Amino acid sequence: IIVTSRNRVWDESYVIDVPSLSSNEYFNLLITQLKFEDNQGNHTLANRITKLCDGLPLVILQVIADIRVATEERKAIGLPAYTMEDYLSEINDDKRTVQTSSIPADSPFGAGVFRVYKSTLKILCTKEHGQEALRCLSIMALLNPDNIPTMLLIYLLGEANKSTTAKILVLLHKQNVITRCKDFYKIHRVIQHIILYANQTTAVDGIAHYIIVETLGSIVPLFKSYLDQFSSHGENLVEVLQNGLQLATHVNKHLKLTEMMGFLKSLADKLNFHGNQLDAEIFVETSQ
């Protein structure tokens, strides 16, 4: 059994550097997932996609998801399958809008990765409930990317219309930008980075409207309400508090004291109740 974690302070643990896939492995991944022919032309296209994605398997899987969805839509109306060449042609149309100079210096991702996800977000914009899906991504990007309890997410999206919420989550899962687990959702860290960066700079079309301050302004009161009514022994309490702490890092940067005080106080009360005194003291001091 291999146990992995992002926590590097475990006793008797060590980090394994995993090498990147070879060009043949990337090609096999694309071909087997998309059922393309094994020929020289597709080898060349696969290499171009690999370079575009900085050789990151997660980003390549995003390309695969986008091509697969486009192929399904074309087949539904009797058109030829969507190809890697079609994808690269559309990506190149967006090349001028995401230049290397516009990427923050501390970003671990290059312009190609930004172009891939910009394309994905543009695809989402064209779907039914696409704008709501982009708002959902903006909310999730502000939370703990590894574990967002389903009930918390539904509450933040608005419980009044669960049917629409379900369609939004299915759309995002199908488009491969979030992962659905038993009782929680994950947002891929690459898309989280892109969303937060785009929210700050409006560099990615489609989500510029959902700037950080606007999204925070709408969900902070809801999160406070969720905390206030949440039982101190409720299910997924630890995960809820982790998401609260993650949200608080953005709250402290972007909201006025009067806007964040109630939320931070409620979070501090819950943390203090469960013995997280250090975190509680920090937030109590901040909210006073």
| pTM score | 0.81
**Domain edge (last residue) among 70, 93, 116:** 93
Q: What is the mean pLDDT of the chain?
A: 81
Whether 177 maps to a domain, the answer reads: no
Question: What pLDDT band is residue 262 in, cutting at 50, 70 and 90?
Answer: confident
Whether 283 maps to a domain, the answer reads: yes
* pLDDT digit string, tens, across residues 201-259: 444 444 444 456 778 888 999 999 999 988 766 778 889 999 999 999 888 776 676 76
Strand order in the sheet with 178-180: 148-149, 184-187, 178-180
**Domain edge (last residue) among 73, 93, 113:** 93
List residues bridging with 148 in a β-sheet: 185
| CA-only gyration radius of the chain, Å | 21
Lowest mean pLDDT among 54-58, 226-230, 281-285: 281-285
Q: What is the mean pLDDT of residues 41-58?
A: 91
Whether 184 maps to a domain, the answer reads: no
Question: What pLDDT band is residue 49 in, cutting at 50, 70 and 90?
Answer: very high
**Domain enclosing residue 8, as ranges:** 1-93
Whether 245 maps to a domain, the answer reads: yes
Q: In this predicted model, which residue has the larger pLDDT, 39 or 211?
A: 39
DSSP assignment string, 184-244: EEEE-HHHHHHHHHHHHH--STTSTTS-HHHHHHHHHHHHHHHHHHS-TT-TTHHHHHHHH
- Phi/psi region, residue 54 (left: phi>0; alpha: psi -120 to 50; beta: rest), is left
Whether 50 maps to a domain, the answer reads: yes
* pLDDT digit string, tens, across residues 224-239: 999 998 876 677 888 9
Distances (CA, A) of 31 to 117, 155, 187: 21, 40, 26
Whether 151 maps to a domain, the answer reads: no
Taking a C-beta distance cutoff of 8 angstroms, is the pair 104, 94 a contact? no
Whether 276 maps to a domain, the answer reads: yes
Helix count (H) and strand count (E) of the chain? 13, 3
**Domain edge (last residue) among 93, 120, 138:** 93
Does residue 274 have a pLDDT over 80?
A: no
Q: How many domains does the chain have?
A: 2
Whether 225 maps to a domain, the answer reads: yes
Q: How large a percentage of the chain has pLDDT more than 90?
A: 36
